[in-house]
């Protein structure tokens, strides 16, 4: 362990600093047909959406991503479909070079022809935006007439033409009471996941933050509505913005949201906008270097304070869930305090966690592994060697850390396209294998996964007091 000095105190941090991001959010254009008041992009009022990438710059970026072994690219904007030919070109180029991709879009410019072209290019997922169940309110938020119908029709269009759609909404005090009904609508439209998270005031303009911000009680109410939606419809629910776990209190009840830490602080996520400017978080206005001048590796290196715990809030010191929670949303903390290591407005303190998170494992799974079940490492698994450990990409942006020893074993069997058993992995390591199976890093035809998948994004190794497996009744 090495010690990192922050403004007020010292955190001990593991020496696992990534050489490059695993996932890039690439804003291909500033252009957008909506003018949402809560938009995080600092260029919105400055350039009026005139900047976009070119095919030549897209080629350079994709080559840079491949060279640095980035796994996943999110194409966003602006509205990426406002520059559809460029979007299609980028999707096709990235996939042909071994990258996985997704698209963030309002879907307000979607047509059957466009969706089919993207699907044929290899795209299989779009994260769509949702604003409100009230068409008039949607028009007000987006400053665009007919916006509600455009969004609804866009989601329908994507689903009907073979693209998996998740839907995200930003929760303010104006639409808090509509979360459940919004989720029911998008479920009926065919979306597979509904995501709702608190508004974070944009870095360039926080004058109206009080009008939109939701407080602690409102935030919990929003999560309760998501859980009610999941119970009633079966749709997956999540948040994109991390919530302090101390806000939740009952980590068993809110297990669906426990694993949503900050992807920038974990080292996975990096943002590049259409001019080449780089940011740690998409909501950040600080530039870490023009990627076309300094390269991806150098620009990413400049974000080290995001990743070495310098921005952790001191009030979280000693919490068992520090490496999962990562002290909440740093940009919301900055908006509230003016300090990157400030207190997340939703922070309550570790004493408010009255029911701990428990990793649940199926005893039958452990028994089957122990008794020689055949295991397999899927072809879709991708790898990246780091200093002293490996990154294992499960699919899309889902990446975990594994030891070099584990990587050697799994890579060998993946290359040989052969199954293996615990004898090959090491006797007494059934729990480690079960966790890899749980995360779909390995698969097995011999093991029926009957257990409810809860908190699946949580890496048990990051639970500092993970002593015992909890078995379901």
> Which pLDDT tens digit goes with each residue over 151-187?
999 999 999 999 999 999 999 888 899 999 999 999 9
Q: What does the pLDDT read at residue 49?
A: 62
Quote the percentage of the chain above a pLDDT of 90: 73
Task: Mean pLDDT check: name the lowest of 94-108, 183-197, 254-268.
Answer: 254-268
Range with the poorest average pLDDT among 14-18, 89-93, 217-221, 467-471: 467-471
To which H or E segment does residue 213 belong? none
Residue 468 has pLDDT above 50, yes or no: no
Average pLDDT, the chain: 89
**Cβ-based neighbours of 162, under 8 Å, separated by 6 or more:** 115, 116, 119
Q: Where do the domains of the chain lie?
A: 14-351, 363-462
pLDDT of 363 reads: 87
Separation CA 268–CA 398 (nearest Å):
9
**402: part of which helix (H) or strand (E)?**
strand 398-402
Please tell me the predicted confidence (pLDDT) of residue 361: 76
User: Domain spanning 14-351 has what CATH number?
Assistant: 3.20.20.70
Architecture of the structural domain at 363-462: Alpha-Beta Complex (3.90)
Listed range (98-102, 250-254, 288-292, 342-346) with the worst mean pLDDT:
250-254
Burial pattern 241-260, b for ≥16 Cβ within 10 A else e, equals: bbbbbbbbeebeebbbbbbb
The answer, yes or no, to whether residue 212 has pLDDT greater than 90, is: no
pLDDT at residue 135, as a whole number: 96
Cis peptide before 78 (omega within 30 of 0): yes
Average pLDDT over residues 203-208: 55
**Is the confidence at residue 354, as pLDDT, over 50?**
yes
Residue listed under structure tokens 């290359």? 415
Given this model, what pLDDT does residue 8 score? 42
* The predicted structure's pLDDT at residue 27: 96
| DSSP one-letter code for 52 | B
Q: What confidence category does residue 396 fall into, taking pLDDT thresholds of 50, 70 and 90?
A: very high
The pLDDT, as a whole number, for residue 288 is 97
Strand order, beta sheet including 398-402: 382-386, 389-395, 398-402
Orientation of helix 112-121 relative to helix 147-160, angle to 10°: 40
As a three-state string, the secondary structure of 18-65 is CCCCCEEEEECECCCCCCCCCCCCCCCCCCCCCCECCHHHHHHHHHHH
| Predicted confidence (pLDDT) at residue 47 exceeds the cutoff of 60 | no
| pLDDT at residue 464, as a whole number | 52
> Within 13 Å of residue 370, how many CA atoms lie on the same side as its CB?
8
pLDDT at 46 over 80: no
**pLDDT (0 to 100) of residue 253:** 92
Whether 458 has a pLDDT exceeding 80, the answer reads: no
In this predicted model, what pLDDT tens digit does every residue of 79-136 receive, in sequence order? Answer: 999 999 999 999 999 999 999 999 999 999 999 999 999 999 999 999 999 999 999 9
At 275-328, the pLDDT tens digits run 999 999 988 889 999 999 999 999 999 999 999 999 999 999 999 888 889 999
The Cα 422–Cα 407 span in angstroms is 15
Q: Which pTM was predicted?
A: 0.93
Decide if pLDDT at 399 tops 70: yes
Classify residue 408 by burial, with Cβ atoms within 10 Å: 0-12, 13-18, 19+: exposed
Residue 463 has a pLDDT of 63
Q: Is 347 helix (H, G, I), strand (E, B) or coil?
A: coil
| Listed ranges 8-12, 203-207, 229-233; the one with the highest mean pLDDT | 229-233
Query: Can you tell me the mean pLDDT for 194-212?
Result: 70
Query: For tokens 């948040």, what's the residue?
Result: 239
* Widest CA span in the chain: 64
């Amino acid at each position: 362990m090495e010690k990192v000095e922050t403004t007020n105190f010292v955190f001990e941090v593991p020496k696992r600093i990534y050489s490059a991001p695993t996932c890039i959010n690439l804003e291909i254009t500033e252009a957008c047909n909506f003018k949402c008041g809560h938009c995080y992009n600092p260029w919105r009022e400055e350039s009026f959406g005139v900047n976009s990438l070119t095919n030549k710059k897209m080629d350079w970026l994709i080559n840079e991503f491949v060279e640095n072994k980035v796994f996943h690219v999110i194409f966003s904007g602006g509205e990426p479909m406002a520059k559809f030919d460029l979007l299609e070109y980028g999707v096709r180029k990235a996939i042909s070079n071994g990258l996985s991709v997704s698209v963030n879009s309002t879907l307000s410019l979607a047509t059957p022809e466009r969706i089919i072209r993207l699907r044929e290019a290899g795209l299989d997922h779009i994260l769509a935006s949702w604003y409100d169940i009230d068409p008039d309110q949607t028009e007000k938020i987006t400053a665009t007439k007919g916006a509600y119908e455009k969004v609804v029709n866009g989601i329908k269009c994507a689903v009907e033409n073979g693209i998996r759609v998740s839907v995200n909404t930003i929760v303010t005090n104006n639409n808090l009471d509509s979360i459940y009904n919004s989720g029911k609508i998008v479920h009926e439209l065919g979306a597979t996941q509904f995501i709702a998270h608190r508004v974070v005031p944009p870095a360039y303009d926080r004058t109206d933050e009080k009008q939109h911000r939701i407080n602690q009680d409102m935030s919990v109410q929003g999560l309760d509505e998501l859980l009610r939606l999941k119970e009633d419809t079966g749709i997956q629910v999540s948040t994109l913005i991390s919530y302090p776990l101390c806000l939740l209190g009952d980590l068993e009840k809110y297990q669906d949201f426990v694993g949503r830490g900050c992807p920038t602080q974990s080292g996975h996520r990096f943002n590049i906008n259409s001019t080449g400017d780089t940011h740690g978080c998409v909501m950040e206005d600080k530039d870490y270097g023009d990627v076309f001048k300094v390269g991806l590796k150098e620009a990413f290196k400049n974000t080290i304070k995001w990743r070495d715990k310098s921005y952790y809030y001191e009030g979280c010191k000693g919490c068992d869930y520090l490496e999962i929670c990562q002290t909440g949303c740093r940009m919301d903390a900055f908006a509230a305090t003016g300090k990157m290591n400030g207190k997340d407005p939703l922070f309550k303190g570790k004493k408010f966690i009255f029911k701990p998170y428990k990793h649940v494992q199926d005893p039958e799974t452990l028994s089957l592994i122990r008794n020689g079940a055949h295991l397999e490492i899927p072809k879709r698994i991708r790898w990246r060697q780091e200093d002293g450990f490996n990154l294992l990409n499960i699919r899309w942006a889902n990446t975990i850390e594994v030891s070099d020893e584990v990587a050697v074993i799994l890579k060998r069997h993946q290359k040989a396209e052969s199954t293996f058993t615990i004898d090959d992995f090491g006797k007494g390591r059934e729990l480690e294998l079960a966790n890899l199976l749980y995360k779909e890093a390995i698969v097995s035809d011999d093991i029926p996964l009957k257990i409810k998948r809860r908190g699946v994004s949580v890496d048990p190794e990051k639970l500092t007091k993970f002593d015992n497996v909890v078995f379901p009744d």
